[in-house]
């Protein structure tokens, strides 16, 4: 439980959050949203105790364990596996204590340690750590590589894994998807849905917020406002709230004008003095409602390319290798035209970025041919694009380097369309935020009027408004687009076909992103089920039964057969009950969807009633997810037990 009571937070002299009260309970997954500078990170630091609130308080149980994703990794000699495992500090200490107790021959202490290890599921800790490494995209050969050997992006993944390894009650995540690919984001989403504690996440990834959040806290104009539901529900409820606020403001202004007119006309007349005075009191009592002020919307557009050759570029039987011995990509054939709108999918390490770099001309193919039009002009945005900026130079300097004939005023005007105004265009970019640097890098690409855009994670560090602006601009762009992104919303809005990079090849993915996400989730859950079934040295009775099913060639004795038949009846009963309940849940969710999908609902129901419907749907969907997991596991066990009993008939 986290209790915010009249919380007021300042940064220097600026009030960021004023008088916020809200109760957060376990299993709440809260998305913290708002423009940059509204206080999201400051609120995180206040929850963590690094900052003191100016007024009010945050009440958190003293024994609550909090985990966060560190922004940096200090020098360490630990391997990736050891670093992930260190997220469970109690486990690490218990293992140290166990070695010491063994050396001292302290049997009582050893027994206590083993009891505690069993209580915290410590005997499966190594397996959980390996599962986290795998889910975060690390290959088996990287598990025991030193942390210092990994690049910055991979170190951030290790920090995420360490935070997830901690058996925390409260988990704080600040932009967790920035250094992940789409496949890893799906895995993290699925993991977070199972998290039993309180999750608070800062993210500009709309799809990520939609998929995991049960509540949204919006920071705006020094206020923190809590909404029930995911990000899409928040947008709907906020729009309704603002519409109601504006309507009430306009109504009050009409009443105010009418009363004031009466006061001005009759206040000097003795016969009307009493009535005028009553109108003055009515004016004083009239609720002071502020007008709705629209948030600044950012928009830009790509310039029309000078030429649009068709095709733009073609790959014929292209292969690529880094070491000369092992191909990353093999015999790739691809034709890109001005109409191409392609999203590139595939697990990390399969070659997505390598393919983009070859098309961009940064890598030369080891075999095959790349045939580009003489009028091809590529706009390439890599996931490390901001690292190529000159930190000691200003935005205007970067634009002038692209075209010496551009005037200072033309450069300033162009940068203004990307949110760089006034003296900002003449400031060194070293202290700029990650989002500002990404905006400048994007502006430089747009300035060059490309006819082919190659975008490799273009939305890292960008806020939701900027991401939506990119999506709108890409829909109007007249050239070809190839995109690698973990932002599902951007992919869905801008791509009309998807290709999957896997097993050194390139194949068209027939479904949409929902199909791909479900495919990934099923793969991940199947791997988790297989991992859970592996026997440990602390097997429970059920685990013993499961391990017995793997010994199908051995004849079972009478007691074992009886035990298995009892277990089979129990599992059959539970799966049948789960199946019936799933059917009822599906019907209930469909009925709520029908109501929420009907435009008249928002005319006939209040925002509070709509919130109740969203709450009910979310509860039903969470129960549905748990039941589906149990049903799948139960069905798999039933099949195994039936096979084993058939063999022993």
Q: How far apart, in whole angstroms, are the C-alpha atoms of residue 167 and residue 196?
A: 10
- Token duo for residue 589: 């969710």
Q: How far apart, in whole angstroms, are the C-alpha atoms of residue 19 and residue 37?
A: 18
Q: Which CATH number applies to 313-389+429-519?
A: 3.40.50.300
Q: What is the pLDDT of residues 227-252, one digit of tens each?
A: 999 998 888 888 777 676 666 666 66
What are the beta bridge partners of residue 283? none
Q: Is-contact 315 361, C-beta < 8 A?
A: no
- Of 118, 116, 188, which Cα lies nearest the Cα of 156? 188
- Top-confidence range, 60-64, 73-77, 279-283, 559-563: 60-64
Radius of gyration of the chain (CA): 30
Q: Are strands 452-456 and 313-321 parallel, antiparallel or unpaired?
A: unpaired
Q: Is-contact 83 136, C-beta < 8 A?
A: no
Q: Is-contact 27 169, C-beta < 8 A?
A: no
Confidence at 510, pLDDT banded by 50, 70, 90: confident
Q: How far apart, in whole angstroms, are the C-alpha atoms of residue 488 and residue 189?
A: 12
Q: How far apart, in whole angstroms, are the C-alpha atoms of residue 557 and residue 553?
A: 13
Query: For the residues 425-453, what does the mean pLDDT come to?
Result: 90
409-to-77, 341, 395, 440 alpha-carbon distances in Å: 52, 34, 13, 17
Q: Which helix (H) or strand (E) holds 11?
A: strand 2-11
Q: Which residues contact 368 (CB under 8 A, 6 or more apart)?
A: 315, 316, 317, 318, 319, 331, 332
- Token duo for residue 163: 């935070």
**306 or 624, greater pLDDT:** 306
> Residue 428: is its pLDDT beyond 70?
yes
- Of 560, 513, 515, which Cα lies nearest the Cα of 541? 560
Q: How far apart, in whole angstroms, are the C-alpha atoms of residue 435 and residue 361?
A: 26
The pLDDT, as a whole number, for residue 596 is: 76
Confidence at 587, pLDDT banded by 50, 70, 90: confident
The pLDDT, as a whole number, for residue 374 is: 93
**262 or 11, greater pLDDT:** 11
Query: ∠115-118-124 over CA atoms, to 5°?
Result: 150
The pLDDT, as a whole number, for residue 553 is: 38
pTM here?
0.68
**552 or 501, greater pLDDT:** 501
Helix pair angle (558-596, 541-549), 10° resolution = 100
Q: How far apart, in whole angstroms, are the C-alpha atoms of residue 148 and residue 180?
A: 19
Q: How far apart, in whole angstroms, are the C-alpha atoms of residue 514 and residue 502?
A: 19
Neighbour tally for 266: CB within 10 Å: 16
Q: How far apart, in whole angstroms, are the C-alpha atoms of residue 179 and residue 546?
A: 38
Q: Which residues contact 482 (CB under 8 A, 6 or more apart)?
A: 336, 340, 342, 344, 356, 359, 452, 453, 454, 455
The pLDDT, as a whole number, for residue 270 is: 54
Is the four-CA dihedral 223, 229, 230, 236 of positive or negative sign? negative
Query: For the residues 620-624, what does the mean pLDDT come to?
Result: 78
Left, alpha or beta for 175 (phi > 0: left; psi -120 to 50: alpha)? left
SS (H, E, C) 107-176: HHHHHHHHHHHHHCCHHHHHHHHHHHHHHCCCCHHHCCCEHHHCCHHHHHHHHHHHHHHCCCCEEEEECC
> Residue 543: is its pLDDT beyond 60?
no
The pLDDT, as a whole number, for residue 467 is: 86
**617 or 398, greater pLDDT:** 398
Give the start-to-end residue ranges of the domains of the chain.
Answer: 79-159, 313-389+429-519, 539-647
How is 457-526 classified by DSSP, letter by letter? STTTT--HHHHHHHHHHHHH--SEEEEE-S-HHHHHHH-SEEEEEETTEEEEE-S-HHHHHHHHHHHHHH
Least reliable range by pLDDT among 204-208, 363-367, 400-404, 518-522: 518-522
> Residue 340: is its pLDDT beyond 70?
yes
Q: Which helix (H) or strand (E) holds 212?
A: helix 206-212
Confidence at 579, pLDDT banded by 50, 70, 90: confident
The pLDDT, as a whole number, for residue 301 is: 84
Q: How far apart, in whole angstroms, are the C-alpha atoms of residue 114 and residue 100?
A: 13
The pLDDT, as a whole number, for residue 387 is: 78
> Residue 529: is its pLDDT beyond 80?
no
Question: In the chain, what percentage of residues exceed pLDDT 90?
Answer: 40
176-to-138, 208, 401, 484 alpha-carbon distances in Å: 16, 10, 34, 18
Q: How far apart, in whole angstroms, are the C-alpha atoms of residue 601 and residue 603?
A: 5
Confidence at 339, pLDDT banded by 50, 70, 90: very high
Whole-number mean pLDDT of the chain? Answer: 83
The pLDDT, as a whole number, for residue 12 is: 80
The pLDDT, as a whole number, for residue 542 is: 38
Helix pair angle (125-135, 182-193), 10° resolution = 140
Least reliable range by pLDDT among 184-193, 360-369, 619-628: 619-628
Q: Is 41 exposed, middle or buried (0-12, 13-18, 19+ CB in 10 A)?
A: middle
Q: What is the pLDDT of residues 152-183, one digit of tens each?
A: 788 889 999 999 999 999 999 998 888 888 98
Q: What is the pLDDT of residues 283-327, one digit of tens each?
A: 566 555 555 444 546 678 888 899 999 999 999 999 999 888 788
The pLDDT, as a whole number, for residue 249 is: 67
């Amino acid at each position: 439980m986290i209790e915010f009571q009249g919380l007021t937070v300042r940064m220097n002299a600026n009030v960021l959050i004023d008088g916020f009260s809200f109760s957060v309970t376990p299993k709440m997954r809260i998305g913290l949203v708002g423009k940059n500078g509204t206080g999201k990170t400051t609120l995180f630091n206040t929850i963590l105790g690094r900052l003191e609130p100016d007024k009010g308080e945050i009440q958190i149980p003293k024994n609550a364990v909090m985990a966060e994703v560190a922004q940096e990794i200090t020098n360490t000699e630990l391997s990736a596996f050891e670093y992930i495992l260190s997220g469970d500090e109690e486990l690490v200490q218990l293992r140290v204590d166990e070695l010491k107790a063994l050396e001292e021959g302290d049997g009582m202490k050893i027994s206590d340690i083993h009891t505690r290890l069993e209580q915290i599921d410590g005997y499966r800790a190594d397996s959980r750590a390996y599962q986290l490494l795998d889910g975060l995209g690390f290959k088996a050969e990287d598990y025991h590589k030193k942390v210092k050997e990994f690049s910055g992006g991979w170190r951030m993944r290790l920090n995420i894994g360490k935070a997830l390894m901690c058996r925390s009650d409260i988990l704080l995540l600040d932009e967790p998807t920035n250094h992940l690919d789409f496949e890893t984001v799906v895995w993290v989403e699925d993991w977070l849905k199972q998290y039993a504690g309180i999750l608070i996440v800062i993210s500009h990834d709309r799809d990520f917020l939609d998929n995991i959040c049960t509540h949204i806290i919006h920071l705006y104009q020094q206020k923190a406002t809590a909404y029930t539901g995911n990000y899409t529900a928040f947008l709907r409820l906020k729009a309704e709230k603002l519409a109601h606020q504006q309507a009430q403001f306009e109504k009050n202004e009409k009443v105010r004008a009418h009363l004031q007119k009466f006061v001005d006309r009759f206040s000097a007349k003795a016969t009307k003095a009493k009535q005028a005075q009553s109108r003055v009191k009515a004016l004083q009592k009239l609720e002071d409602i502020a007008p709705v002020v629209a948030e600044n919307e950012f928009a830009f557009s790509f310039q029309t390319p000078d030429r649009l050759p068709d095709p733009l570029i073609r790959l014929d039987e292209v292969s690529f290798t880094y070491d000369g011995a092992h191909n990353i990509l093999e015999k790739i054939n691809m034709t890109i035209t001005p109409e191409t709108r392609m999203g590139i999918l595939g697990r990390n390490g399969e070659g997505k970025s390598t393919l983009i770099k070859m098309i961009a001309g940064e890598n030369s193919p080891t075999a095959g041919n790349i045939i580009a039009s003489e009028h091809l002009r590529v706009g390439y945005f890599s996931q490390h694009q901001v690292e190529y900026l000159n930190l000691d130079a200003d935005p205007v300097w970067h634009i002038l380097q692209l075209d010496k004939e551009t005037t200072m005023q033309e450069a300033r005007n162009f940068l203004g369309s990307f949110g760089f105004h006034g003296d900002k265009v003449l400031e060194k970019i070293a202290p700029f935020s990650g989002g500002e640097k990404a905006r400048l890098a994007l502006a430089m690409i747009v300035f060059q009027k490309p006819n082919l855009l190659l975008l490799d994670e273009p939305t890292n560090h960008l806020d939701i408004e900027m991401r939506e602006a990119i999506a709108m601009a890409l829909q109007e762009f007249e050239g070809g687009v190839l995109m690698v992104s973990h932002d599902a919303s951007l992919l869905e809005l801008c791509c009309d076909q998807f290709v999957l990079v896997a097993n050194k090849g390139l194949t068209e993915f027939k479904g949409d992103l929902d199909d791909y996400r479900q495919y990934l989730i099923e793969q991940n859950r199947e791997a988790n089920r297989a991992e859970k079934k592996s026997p440990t040295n602390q097997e429970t009775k059920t685990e013993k039964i499961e391990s017995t099913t793997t010994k199908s060639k051995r004849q079972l004795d009478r007691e074992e057969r009886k035990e298995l038949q009892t277990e089979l009846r129990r599992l059959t009963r539970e799966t049948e009950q789960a199946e019936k309940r799933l059917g009822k849940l599906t019907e209930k969710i469909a009925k709520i969807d029908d109501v929420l999908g009907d435009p008249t609902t928002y005319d006939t129901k209040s925002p509070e009633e709509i919130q109740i419907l969203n709450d009910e749907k979310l509860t039903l969907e969470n129960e549905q997810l748990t039941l589906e997991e149990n049903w799948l596991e139960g069905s798999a066990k039933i099949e195994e037990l039936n096979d084993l009993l058939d063999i022993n008939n």
